[in-house]
DNA sequence: TCTGGGGTCCTAGGACCC
DNA sequence: TCTGGGGTCCTAGGACCC
């Protein structure tokens, strides 16, 4: 049996833990630059606010309805996520962290007759330990557990836990579950299925496997099998190494100056390299991309990316920044106004498995020591305490006008709160 | 004025190899 | 004049997730 634990309105719930006045009020959390809505409380959902809605379009509505607005505070959310995951790890046989607010549980070692109660207790322990409300779904496959967790969220009388075991019960649920809401079926496939008169998860599970494979590849077929109760998506409890690491941002205003753009790209590269070292890996190529504002139809549009291949796999910020800037120079066009840029580290491998290049010695040992010192200082004194010159002193600031305190991680913020 | 960011996997088609 | 067949690797693009 698999369980899926899903934090309810996670970012909003994090804000509420430290600001109880927000309970029972409509609350939303915004994306970077205060652009879109990315988390909504139940109350905000019932007012009709949609996920991903641009905020500037609903400014008046927000004011008229007294909706509380927060910029995203990822340091706080990341720390709260760690607390939730720690609690789950202590209570469940094994867990797979699936996203910042979700984890799968492998419940094979727990007696089926106790699972309903187990789910309810787990939900209440997480709430008690962390303040975060969760919904738990339990069933034969990951996909069915996802379905169950949505039911758990929808019906308060289930106490946050929905256990789906019997075939007849599962069938009953799937017959009213919209196919587009199934995990693994997105907008495009949802539309295609509806056009083929497949409206519910049950309809989908009754289609032929050949048809599903032809229309939706093996990925769709796996979802089909899972809905029929056959586990087809593996459970991965070991820490997985990322195969790509990307850092990208939209700018609060458009940039044209190559100097400013270079500083942004250097900063994104620095952040990516930090993530790379954190998982003990090296990479051997880096992609850089820049683009104009696609929402402005009048200006000429430009999107380009370039991949720079390195002589030797590395985790050194200095080498990566140099490579990134050389790539940027090749794709930069002076007549464009840039709204967004980013870098992606590619060809990632474990540091110890990687052979060196005898023809190109970057003084790897020196770089390693320098990076260790750099990471140590930035961990101790805060991000960007020590930066490369290429990042510049004044980094490009994002709009974040409704930011809450870093309640759980930042001493300065706590002092400020107390005063 | 203002429209997020970070990932994964699969497939098709081209380049290239022997 | 006749011009194969089987395989791998890479990339771009599309679909999906949160």
pLDDT tens digit string along A27-55?
A: 999 998 899 999 999 999 999 999 999 99
Nearest to A202 by CA among A231, A234, A169, A233: A169
- Answer yes or no: are the C-beta atoms of A22 and A15 closer than 8 Å: yes
Q: Which residues partner with A253 through β-bridges?
A: none
pLDDT band at A361 (very low <50, low <70, confident <90, very high): low
Indicate if the alpha-carbon torsion angle A271, A352, A318, A266 is positive or negative.
Answer: negative
Helix H or strand E segment including A2: strand A2-7
What is each CA distance from A390 to A102, A155, A246, A314, in whole angstroms? 37, 53, 19, 18
Say what the pLDDT of residue A379 is: 83
Window A103-162, strand C contacts by Cβ < 7 Å:
146
Q: Which nucleotide is nearest to A193 (CA to C1')?
A: C15
Per 3-state DSSP, chain A is made up of helix, strand and coil in percentages (nearest 5) of 45, 20, 30
- Answer yes or no: are the C-beta atoms of A8 and A133 closer than 8 Å: yes
In chain A, where the domains are located = 77-227, 245-391
Q: What is the C-alpha R_g of chain A?
A: 24
Q: Cα–Cα distance between A268 and A274 in angstroms, integer?
A: 10
Average pLDDT over residues A57-83: 94
pLDDT tens, position by position, A213-227: 999 999 999 999 999
State both tokens at A201: 């998860």
Do A77-227 and A245-391 have matching folds?
no
Mean predicted lDDT score pLDDT of chain A: 89
Query: In the CATH scheme, what is the homologous superfamily, with its name and number, of domain A77-227?
Result: Reverse transcriptase/Diguanylate cyclase domain (3.30.70.270)
Percentage above 70 pLDDT, chain A:
94
Instruction: Please write down the HEC assignment for all residues of A271-338.
Output: HHHHHHHHCCEEEEEEEEEEEECCCCCCCCCCEEEEEEEEEEEECCHHHHHHHHHHHHHHHCCCCCCE
Helix H or strand E segment including A122: helix A115-130
pLDDT tens, position by position, A367-416: 888 999 999 888 888 778 888 888 876 655 566 778 888 788 765 554 44
Query: Helices A167-174 and A142-154: crossing angle, nearest 10°?
Result: 70
Choice among A87-96, A245-254, A330-339, A403-412 with the minimum mean pLDDT: A403-412
Q: What kind of fold does domain A245-391 have according to CATH?
A: Dna Ligase; domain 1 (3.30.1490)
Helix H or strand E segment including A103: strand A102-106
Q: Which nucleotides of B are covered by protein (CB under 7 A)?
A: 1-11
Q: Cα–Cα distance between A340 and A253 in angstroms, integer?
A: 9
Work out if A219's Cβ lies within 7 angstroms of strand B: yes
CA of A264 to C1' of C17 (A): 28
Work out if A226's Cβ lies within 7 angstroms of strand C: no
CA of A364 to C1' of C7 (A): 38
Percentage above 90 pLDDT, chain A:
66
Nearest to A5 by CA among A109, A124, A111, A155: A124
Work out if A249's Cβ lies within 7 angstroms of strand B: yes
Number of H helices, E strands in chain A: 14, 12
- Answer yes or no: are the C-beta atoms of A153 and A12 closer than 8 Å: no
Choice among A32-36, A82-86, A179-183 with the minimum mean pLDDT: A32-36
Q: Which residues partner with A54 through β-bridges?
A: A36
Q: Which residue has the tokens 């985790």?
A: A315
Say what the pLDDT of residue A304 is: 86
pLDDT band at A364 (very low <50, low <70, confident <90, very high): confident
Window A289-328, strand C contacts by Cβ < 7 Å:
307
Choice among A9-18, A140-149, A208-217, A359-368 with the minimum mean pLDDT: A359-368
Work out if A269's Cβ lies within 7 angstroms of strand B: no
Work out if A36's Cβ lies within 7 angstroms of strand B: yes
pLDDT band at A419 (very low <50, low <70, confident <90, very high): very low
Choice among A296-300, A316-320, A371-375, A407-411 with the minimum mean pLDDT: A407-411
Residues 6+ apart with CB under 8 A from A137: A3, A4, A6, A144, A145, A146, A147, A148, A149, A150, A151, A152, A161, A162, A164
Q: Which residues partner with A97 through β-bridges?
A: A103
Q: Which nucleotide is nearest to A6 (CA to C1')?
A: C18
Q: Which nucleotide is nearest to A186 (CA to C1')?
A: C16
Work out if A31's Cβ lies within 7 angstroms of strand B: yes
More confident residue, A33 or A65: A65
Window A189-218, strand B contacts by Cβ < 7 Å:
217-218
What b/e readout covers A331-368, taking b as 16+ CB neighbours within 10 angstroms?
ebeeebebbbbbbbbbebeebeebeeeeeeebebeebe
Nearest to A226 by CA among A139, A109, A108: A139
Helix H or strand E segment including A317: helix A317-331
Q: Which nucleotide is nearest to A180 (CA to C1')?
A: C16
CA of A409 to C1' of B12 (A): 48
Q: Which residue has the tokens 């557990």?
A: A145
Q: Cα–Cα distance between A228 and A205 in angstroms, integer?
A: 6
- Answer yes or no: are the C-beta atoms of A204 and A143 closer than 8 Å: no
Work out if A96's Cβ lies within 7 angstroms of strand C: no
Cα torsion at A301, A34, A180, A138 (round to 10°)? 140
Q: Is A388 helix (H, G, I), strand (E, B) or coil?
A: coil
pLDDT at residue A233 above 60?
A: yes
What is each CA distance from A60 to A14, A34, A51, in whole angstroms? 25, 15, 17
Work out if A186's Cβ lies within 7 angstroms of strand C: yes
DSSP state letter for A351? G
pLDDT at residue A97 above 80?
A: yes
pTM (global) more than 0.75: yes
pLDDT band at A302 (very low <50, low <70, confident <90, very high): confident
Work out if A32's Cβ lies within 7 angstroms of strand B: yes
DSSP state letter for A164? -
Work out if A184's Cβ lies within 7 angstroms of strand B: no
Say what the pLDDT of residue A418 is: 44
Average pLDDT over residues A329-334: 88
């Amino acid at each position: 049996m698999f369980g899926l634990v899903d934090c309810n309105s996670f970012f909003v719930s994090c804000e509420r833990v430290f600001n109880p006045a927000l309970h029972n009020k409509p609350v939303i959390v915004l994306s970077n630059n205060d652009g879109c809505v990315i988390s909504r409380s139940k109350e905000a959902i019932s007012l009709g606010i949609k996920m991903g809605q641009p905020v500037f379009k609903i400014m008046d509505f927000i004011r008229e309805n007294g909706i509380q607005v927060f910029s995203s505070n990822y340091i706080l959310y990341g720390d709260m996520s760690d607390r939730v995951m720690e609690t789950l790890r202590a209570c469940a046989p094994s867990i797979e962290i699936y996203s910042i607010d979700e984890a799968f549980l492998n419940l094979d070692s727990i007696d089926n007759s106790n699972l309903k109660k187990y789910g309810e207790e787990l939900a209440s322990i997480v709430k008690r330990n962390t303040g975060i409300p969760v919904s738990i779904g339990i069933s034969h496959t990951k996909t069915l557990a996802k379905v169950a967790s949505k039911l758990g969220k929808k019906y308060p009388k289930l106490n946050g836990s929905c256990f789906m075991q019997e075939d007849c019960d599962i069938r009953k649920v799937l017959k009213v579950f919209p196919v587009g809401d199934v995990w693994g079926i997105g907008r495009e496939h949802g539309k295609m299925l509806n056009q083929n008169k497949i409206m519910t998860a049950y309809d989908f599970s009754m289609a032929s496997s050949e048809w599903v494979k032809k229309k939706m590849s093996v990925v769709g077929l796996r979802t089909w099998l899972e809905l029929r109760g056959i586990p087809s998506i593996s459970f991965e409890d070991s820490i997985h190494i990322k195969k790509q690491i990307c850092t990208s941002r939209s700018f609060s205003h458009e940039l044209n100056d190559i100097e400013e753009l270079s500083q942004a790209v250097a900063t994104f590269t620095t952040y990516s390299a930090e993530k790379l070292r954190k998982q003990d890996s090296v990479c051997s190529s880096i992609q850089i991309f820049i683009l104009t504002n696609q929402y402005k139809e009048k200006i000429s549009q430009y999107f380009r990316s370039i991949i720079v291949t390195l002589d030797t796999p590395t985790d050194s910020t200095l080498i990566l920044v140099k490579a990134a800037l050389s790539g940027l120079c090749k794709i930069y066009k002076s007549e464009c106004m840039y709204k967004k840029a980013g870098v992606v580290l590619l060809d990632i491998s474990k540091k110890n498995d990687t052979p060196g290049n005898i023809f190109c010695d970057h003084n790897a040992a020196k770089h390693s020591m320098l990076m260790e010192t750099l990471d140590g200082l930035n961990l101790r004194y805060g991000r960007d305490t020590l930066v490369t010159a290429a990042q510049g002193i004044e980094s490009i600031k994002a709009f974040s006008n409704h930011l809450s305190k870093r309640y759980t991680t930042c001493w300065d913020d706590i002092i400020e709160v107390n005063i």
